[in-house]
Amino acid sequence: MAKLNIVKMGDDMLRRVCRPVEQITPRILTLLDDMLETMHAADGCGLAAPQVGVLRRIAIVEVEEGEVIEMINPKIIAFAGEQQESEGCLSIPGKYGITKRPKHVTVRAMNRKGEIFEVSGSDLLARALCHEIDHLDGKLFVDKVVRYTN
């Protein structure tokens, strides 16, 4: 595994829409492993492929230690409620703001074995899932901030 460079706000890469993954190759598996190492090194709870310079629909989330959710071609298929909580981003260090997000979401994605799965989450997990999927569509949390906290 390798620690990758995290792309920072201002880089065009973060505003581009990512392409779907057509086939899970050894390169995709290595990317997932490297993204996890990079996220851990940066003390984050989520990371999307464009944040490490790869325009593919891949993201990882880990809000509970040891419970890593790897998502290939993720899509939010259901959401409910509303929450307004603080968010930050590894690509926008030192910046935090209150965003409006769904309280609960369900995401359908593919895992590293090519199997389709669904994951549902509330509160922080729902925010993290939405945040990382937004990255795949060229959106940043600052686009959804209702007020900055710093």
Known catalytic residues are 132
Beta bridge partners of 116: 110
Cα gap 116→71, rounded to integer Å: 10
Q: Do the beta carbons of residue 122 and residue 104 sit within 8 Å?
A: yes
Report the SS3 class of residue 128: helix
Cα gap 134→131, rounded to integer Å: 5
Strands, E, within 14-139: which ranges? 46-48, 58-61, 69-80, 83-89, 92-101, 104-110, 116-122
